[in-house]
Structure 1
Amino acid sequence: MTAIAALILAAGRSSRMRGRDKLLEPVDGTPLLARICAAATQSAATTYVTLPTPDHPRAAVIRDHCQGARPVYVPNAEEGMAASIRAGIGARSREYDAVMILPADMPELTAKDLARVVAQASSTPDQILRATGADGTFGHPVVFPRRYFTALSQLTGDQGARAILKAAQHQGEIIRPVPLPASHALTDLDTPEAWAAWRQARKSTSTE
């Protein structure tokens, strides 16, 4: 059986939220971070969550709402996404066959979505997988097989794993798409305006 770890990237600064923390924004009465963590723990063998510090409010959310997850503190989180990926890969036990990397700011991802990605990874454990929107646009999460763990642990900067994906494509590797409903794999909310627009659209859809 393929063992897949989930790595939730939650050590960013929410710098575009003008004082608010996007990962603490409520979705159906639950902080977004708790929601994505719960979805991941239902799907993956183990869930790791990168966090800025042990005393950060996000760490309290994990302690209160997602005790099954393993926190990974990233003291140099200001470097960007690569620092979180390095820390998460370094904390992850070597027995895993693949890692599913997902940003924490994606409110439409569900446990069912992540289970679909994990199921596909279990059947094709040596391929890179990437979730897509219903229109085929690549989004998140992305699953990397074990042979990419070393490259992931050596990333730098704020581009995440894009360089690895580009290099894989350049070398002729097929990145297998995993279609998810609507824009579940694409919706990330980084500003108060984006949150307000998303909530309004969601409210309108629920009353139709």
Structure 2
Amino acid sequence: MSPVTGLLLAAGMSRRFGSDKRRHSLPDGTPMALAAARRLHAACPNSIAIIRPDDDQLAAQFREAGLAVVVCPTAAGGMGHSLAAGVAASQQAAGWLIALADMPAITLDSYAAVLQALQAGAPLARTSHAGRPGHPVGFSARFRSDLLALQGDHGGKTIIEAQRALLTLCPVDDPGVLLDIDSPLDATHSLIKGSI
């Protein structure tokens, strides 16, 4: 069995943002999705970015950052399709560390906390900050079939809600685990310190 694989979900449609937020520049000029990719890769070198068809420029940036790339032909159907595509491309993994391309402010320590929980045997793990659940989220290999069956825009949330007793919360002192960027104003938030 392979080590835990990081999955960067980067195939979203940015409907609320008004433009392709994956390419939106953070204050230091780094495209948002690339900043998230670099942080995930630094914490989990065995990582994959899931993108939409025709995302050639993003694919090149992700590969340069050290991630493998998987194209999800059904990405327009929602996050569940993208997550299932990433799991399908790494079915021998011991588990999956799920990151979102619109959450570039998460620190390496937060990624490491979830990764370590999975490596220690947690079936499910996720960060929490100030009593609120955050990202990233981790799934052990026991949920492979459930993840492969995902469709629509629900992602792994339905699995976690159905298996709360198996969830390990990883408290972190990192407000970035709660900061997803849905507007250009969010992208200027002071929590975002730029790329690695």
TM-score > 0.5, shorter chain as reference: yes
Match of 1:107 among 104, 107, 112: 104
Q: Which residue of 2 aligns with 1:39?
A: 39
SS at match of 1:11: coil
Which structure has the bigger radius of gyration? Answer: 1
Q: Which residue of 1 aligns with 2:123?
A: 127
Match of 1:79 among 73, 77, 80: 77
**Pair 194,39 (structure 1): closer, same or farther in 2 beyond 3 Å:** closer
Q: Which residue of 2 aligns with 1:15?
A: 15
Task: After superposition, give the CA deviation of every residue in 1:143-196 in whole Å (9 maximum; x if it has no partner).
Answer: 111110100000111111111111112xxx231111222312110011223334
CA distance in 1 between partners of 2:97 and 2:43 (Å) = 10
Task: After superposition, give the CA deviation of every residue in 1:116-160 in whole Å (9 maximum; x if it has no partner).
Answer: 22122222x242101112x02001111111110100000111111
CA distance in 1 between partners of 2:187 and 2:94 (Å) = 36
CA distance in 1 between partners of 2:184 and 2:118 (Å) = 34
Aligned length: 192
Q: Which residue of 2 aligns with 1:151?
A: 146
TM-score, with length taken from structure 2: 0.88
Contact 2:105 / 2:191 at 8 angstroms: preserved in 1?
A: no
Contact 1:3 / 1:45 at 8 angstroms: preserved in 2?
A: no
SS at match of 1:109: coil
Match of 1:194 among 170, 186, 191: 186
Contact 1:4 / 1:45 at 8 angstroms: preserved in 2?
A: no
CA distance in 2 between partners of 1:61 and 1:13 (Å) = 18
Match of 1:185 among 151, 159, 177: 177
Greater relative contact order (Cα < 8 A, sep 6+): 2
Cα RMSD after superposing both structures = 2.2
After TM superposition, where is structure 1 displaced by more than 6 Å over at least 4 residues in a row? none
CA distance in 2 between partners of 1:9 and 1:149 (Å) = 17
TM-score, with length taken from structure 1: 0.83
Q: Percent identity?
A: 29
Q: Which 5+ residue runs of structure 1 have no aligned equivalent?
A: none
Q: Which amino acid aligns with 1:102?
A: A
Q: Which residue of 2 aligns with 1:142?
A: 137
Contact 1:36 / 1:110 at 8 angstroms: preserved in 2?
A: no
CA distance in 1 between partners of 2:108 and 2:30 (Å) = 15
Q: Give the C-alpha shift of residue 55 in structure 1.
A: 4.0
CA distance in 2 between partners of 1:55 and 1:128 (Å) = 31
